[in-house]
C-alpha cells in the first residue's frame, strides 16, 4: 500500500473538479450566445462537444472517487495499527488529502511537529508493511 497513491488520487480529483467547473462556465457562456443567436449551428455544435466532454470528465471523476475510497479503506487498516496521534496526522495528510499547513492547523501542532510525527509513523508502518 503506497500512501502517495492517495495523495495522487486527491490531486487528480481536484484537477477533474477544476476542469469540470471551467467547462461548465464555458458552456454557460455558449448557452447565452445560443439564446441571442439561435440559428448559429457553430455555437450549437460547440455546446454539444462540450456536453460530451463534460460527461466524460464526470465519469472519470466518479471513477477516481471510487478508486480513492477503495485505497482509503486499505490505508485505514494500516493506520489503525498506529498510536492515535500518528493516526490523526496520517489521516489528515493522506485520507483527507490536506496540505501540511492545513494538517498542522487541524491537528493544532506546528508544521514541524507534524512532520516529525509523520516520519515516525512512516518508519513504524514500513517496519510492519512495505509502503
pTM above 0.85, yes or no: no
Q: Decide which of 1.20.1070, 1.10.10, 1.10.3470, 3.30.1490 is the CATH code for 80-131.
A: 1.10.10
Segment 6-25 shows an average pLDDT of: 93
Buried b (16+ CB within 10 A) or exposed e, 67-96: ebeebbeebeebbeebeeebbbbbbbbbbe
Position 130 scores a pLDDT of 44
pLDDT at 131 over 60: no
- The topology (CATH level 3) of 1-74 is Methane Monooxygenase Hydroxylase; Chain G, domain 1 (1.20.58)
Amino acid at each position: 500500500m503506497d500512501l502517495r497513491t492517495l495523495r495522487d488520487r486527491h490531486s487528480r480529483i481536484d484537477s477533474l473538479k477544476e476542469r469540470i467547473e471551467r467547462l461548465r462556465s464555458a458552456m454557460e457562456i455558449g448557452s447565452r450566445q445560443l439564446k441571442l443567436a439561435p440559428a448559429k449551428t457553430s455555437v450549437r455544435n460547440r455546446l454539444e462537444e462540450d456536453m460530451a466532454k463534460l460527461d466524460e470528465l464526470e465519469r472519470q471523476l466518479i471513477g477516481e472517487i471510487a478508486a480513492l475510497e477503495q485505497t482509503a479503506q486499505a490505508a485505514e487498516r494500516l493506520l489503525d495499527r498506529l498510536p492515535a496521534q500518528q493516526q490523526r496526522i496520517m489521516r489528515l495528510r493522506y485520507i483527507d488529502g490536506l496540505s501540511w499547513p492545513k494538517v498542522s492547523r487541524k491537528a493544532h501542532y506546528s508544521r514541524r511537529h507534524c512532520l516529525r510525527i509523520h516520519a515516525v509513523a512512516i518508519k513504524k508502518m514500513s517496519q510492519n508493511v512495505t509502503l
